[in-house]
Amino acid sequence: MILILLGTGSLGYGQNCLQLKEGQTLTNTTSSWVNTLIADKKFQKANEEGRAKLVESFNQDLLSGKVKGFGGVPCDFVVKNARQEGNQESVDLTLGPFAFPIECRNDTLWLWRNKGIKDIKVNDATPATHPSGWSAYDAYTPSEKTIGMLTQGASVIPNNLKVGDQLPVYEDIIVSFPASWTQEIKRKVADGYRTVTSTERGWVSGVDSRDGQYYAGLGTKTTTSLERTFKTISANVNVEVSASTYIMHHVFATVTRSEELKMGKKTYTTWVIESENWSKNTEITDYKSENEQLNALLGAEEARYRQMVDKKFRKMGLTTDKGYVIEYVTEWFVPGIGIVKMETVDMHGVITARSETTQIK
């Protein structure tokens, strides 16, 4: 979230584009919170009015610091690498080793977090081998492992805005490479029926088939029934899991009003943009073995599990009927500078993130 917010500085072209200069520093504070209300039984059982009051109180505690969040520490972003190519100008907004390209094309800002397709890497560790041939399990060689790929779109915002303007959607696609392993899996399955006969002594009654006479009294009763039989099947199964995330930003993005915002000693005119973020995670698990019956059984179990999770998430109000998580986003945009303030609210109305540039120098 921090990178998304702070990658939205700008550079200027024409009248308003170039407002950030080489070497300038933008001080920004970003905080995020987890909505713990959804796990509260009081919240779950409350009606709509009761939930609204609980959300209002939770947000007040959150903003006052009573509810602890993540981040909240000011960071300085430095403007570097000012450059011009034809009618396009750009700079990088940098934080340590990270650089976020910012472009101006015909007085319109293109606010990037990453350009192109990027590898997703994590630190990996491999056991080192001792020269004498024995394995030194306490020694590891650091390395990087690529676990997936991502592409992130640019937020495109014209400097010349007015109330009612709508902005285009931009998208993120994140894909993890399949992870697989082999394990022995056993399942008990029905394989037929057997006839079970039981005899017991007690009170019996009925009509004698030989003479048609009714009888009743103590005697022996024999009953016959069918009983399911089961068998255990097992196999070494290759389990493969793959996952992806799709995010749409600036859904229904509309300029709703203009506000004055003070950063440091200077007051700026901002355009307030309200929009929605839609995100959806997809995870697929495949099972492959020589036993087709076991493959089908495991596939059916996986489908039932996914349906159960989806139903629970919808019931808790975490996702829509189509499985999307929706966040409501408010952004404050300064022409030639970019997004200087942002707030996101979840589907229950709980604030989940806030970011604000407090000064530019």
Average pLDDT over residues 136-158: 77
SS3 284: strand
Of the candidate ranges 5-14, 30-39, 121-130, 161-170, the one whose mean pLDDT is the lowest: 5-14
Looking from the CA of 81 toward its CB, the CA atoms found within 13 Å total 12
193-196 contact pairs (CB < 8 A, 24+):
193/226, 193/227, 193/228, 193/229, 194/226, 194/227, 194/229, 195/224, 195/225, 195/226, 195/227, 196/224, 196/225, 196/226, 196/227
Looking from the CA of 335 toward its CB, the CA atoms found within 13 Å total 17
Same domain, 134 and 240: no
Q: Which residue would you say has higher pLDDT here, 153 or 145?
A: 153
Average pLDDT over residues 106-115: 92
Same domain, 202 and 220: yes
- What is the share, in percent, of the chain residues with pLDDT greater than 90? 57
Q: Which residue would you say has higher pLDDT here, 203 or 326?
A: 326
Q: Which residue would you say has higher pLDDT here, 323 or 198?
A: 323
Question: Is-contact 276 320, C-beta < 8 A?
Answer: no
Q: If you count them, how many residues does the chain have?
A: 361
Question: Is-contact 229 195, C-beta < 8 A?
Answer: no
In a domain, 331, yes or no: yes
H or E stretch at 111: strand 108-111
Q: What is the pLDDT of residue 196?
A: 81
Residue 125 banded pLDDT, cuts 50, 70, 90: low
Same domain, 327 and 207: yes
pLDDT over 90 (residue 239): yes
In a domain, 56, yes or no: no
Q: Which of 128, 152, 176 is the last residue of a domain?
A: 152
- Exposure string for 221-244, b = 16+ CB within 10 A, e = fewer: eeeeeeeeeeeeeebebebeebbe
Say how many domains are in the chain: 2
Question: What is the span of the domain harbouring residue 180?
Answer: 2-34+69-113+153-360
In a domain, 145, yes or no: yes
Q: What is the pLDDT of residue 140?
A: 44
Residue 110 banded pLDDT, cuts 50, 70, 90: very high
In a domain, 63, yes or no: no
Average pLDDT over residues 217-228: 79
Terminal CA-CA length for the chain: 24
Same domain, 142 and 170: no
Q: Which of 103, 134, 152 is the last residue of a domain?
A: 152
The pLDDT tens digits of the residues spanning 68-95 come to: 899 999 999 999 999 888 778 899 999 9
Same domain, 226 and 137: no
Give the CA dihedral 300, 301, 306, 309, nearest 10 degrees: 150
Question: Is-contact 218 205, C-beta < 8 A?
Answer: no
Q: What is the pLDDT of residue 143?
A: 62
Same domain, 131 and 187: no
Question: Is-contact 180 258, C-beta < 8 A?
Answer: no
Residue 189 banded pLDDT, cuts 50, 70, 90: confident
The pLDDT tens digits of the residues spanning 283-315 come to: 999 999 999 989 999 999 999 988 898 888 888
Same domain, 128 and 164: no
Mean pLDDT, the chain, integer: 86
In a domain, 242, yes or no: yes
C-alpha distances out from residue 2 to 29, 72, 123, 273, Å: 9, 11, 21, 18
Q: Which residues pair with 119 in a beta bridge?
A: 149
In a domain, 189, yes or no: yes
The model carries a pTM of 0.78
Same domain, 133 and 185: no
Same domain, 129 and 215: no
Contacts of 104 (CB under 8 A, 6+ apart): 10, 11, 12, 13, 14, 17, 18, 88, 89, 90, 110
pLDDT over 60 (residue 3): no
pLDDT over 70 (residue 139): no
Nearest to 277 by CA among 5, 39, 70, 31: 5
Phi, psi values for residue 203, rounded to 5°: -80, 125
Residue 225 banded pLDDT, cuts 50, 70, 90: confident
In a domain, 131, yes or no: yes
SS3 130: coil
pLDDT over 50 (residue 137): no
In a domain, 39, yes or no: no
Same domain, 89 and 225: yes
Same domain, 303 and 208: yes
Same domain, 322 and 287: yes
